[in-house]
Amino acid sequence: MADTASRVAIVTGAARGIGAAVASRLADDGLAVALLDLDESGTAATAEKIRAAGGRALAVGLDVSRSDQVEAAVQRVADELGAPTVLVNNAGILRDNLLFKMTDDDWDAVVNVHLRGSFLMSRAVQKFQTQEKWGRIVNLSSTSALGNRGQANYSAAKAGLQGFTKTLAIELGKFGVTVNAVAPGFIATEMTAATAARVGVDFEDFKRGAAQQIPVQRVGQPEDVAHTVSFLVSEGAGFVSGQVVYVAGGPKD
Ligand code: NAP
């Protein structure tokens, strides 16, 4: 097995929340980490923390739904950190609305970031993975893939990512690349805080209410997701591929 320290990971949407936790965790695991987000400066603090702890980190700004920006960002990572063989497609947005109020833009924006973004990033990174004959892709799905009121766009994108994951697992397996999805339930981040604000509920009350519906009786933290991603990225997880792992404090169908 190759030395984990020689691995280079890309995490999208790494400025905050789950992406920042995943980037920090992979750096703790010994990987060099490229933190990609819309605003490069947003990832600077996490990148600096990783460097201060002795790790290698690079902050790169891009919109994952833009093909030209994706190609340029992935090439920059390869030039400055080395061939990226680990990809975590985490960047995400919400534009919740009931179907009759959902605009074309609500639909396109969500599908473009989650689905098109993961497609563009994976296509750019697989070039390095297949050359290296090793790789890991982890896509952030969601329990919303199973259906969630007000999220026709988001649930379609998150369910689409599960099909995308299984197909890439079939195509890339022979190159030593595993592809899996992590599907979180309620994780306390700015995304869920924004949902609480949108429905007019104090975030602490919102979390307490959610926790009551969760078998382990608490909401998730970004580190819960990062731990699962760390396992799927690990050298030893090479026989786990095409799976959807629900990280939701209880079972999901
Ligand atoms: P978050 O706090 O809103 O962070 C998402 C990050 O993605 C932000 O830094 C955002 O940048 C970035 N981003 C958005 N659009 C982008 C684009 N086009 N290109 C590059 N970066 C972009 O979200 P989170 O809660 O950590 O969620 C992370 C992922 O987990 C998402 O895919 C989400 O759907 C999924 N998820 C979350 C939960 C949950 O409960 N939180 C549950 C299930 C799944 P800006 O700040 O500049 O907008």
Distance from the alpha carbon of residue 91 to the mean position of ligand 1, in angstroms: 5
Distance CA 170, CA 138 (A): 14
246 is catalytic: no
* Atom of ligand 1 minimally distant from the CA of 15: 9
Instruction: Decide: pTM greater than 0.75.
Output: yes
Domain spans of the chain? Answer: 4-185+220-247
Is CATH 3.40.630.10 the classification given to domain 4-185+220-247?
Answer: no
Q: What sign for the dihedral angle of Cα 25, 27, 31, 35?
A: positive
Instruction: Tell me the pairing of strands 244-247 and 177-184.
Output: parallel
Alpha-carbon distances of 108 from 10, 27, 91, 124, 248, rounded to whole Å: 24, 33, 15, 22, 27
**Which residue is closest in CA terms to ligand 1's atom 3?**
191
Radius of gyration of the chain (CA): 17
Q: In a structure prediction context, what are the per-residue pLDDT tens digits for the chain, which is 253 residues long?
A: 567 778 999 999 999 999 999 999 999 999 999 999 999 999 999 999 999 999 999 999 999 999 999 999 999 999 999 999 999 999 999 999 999 999 999 999 999 999 999 999 999 999 999 999 999 999 999 999 999 999 999 999 999 999 999 999 999 999 999 999 999 999 999 999 999 999 999 999 999 999 999 999 999 999 999 999 999 999 999 999 999 999 999 999 7
Contact 56, 30 (CB under 8 A): no
Distance from the alpha carbon of residue 13 to the mean position of ligand 1, in angstroms: 6
Distance from the alpha carbon of residue 251 to the mean position of ligand 1, in angstroms: 23
**Which residue is closest in CA terms to ligand 1's atom 44?**
142
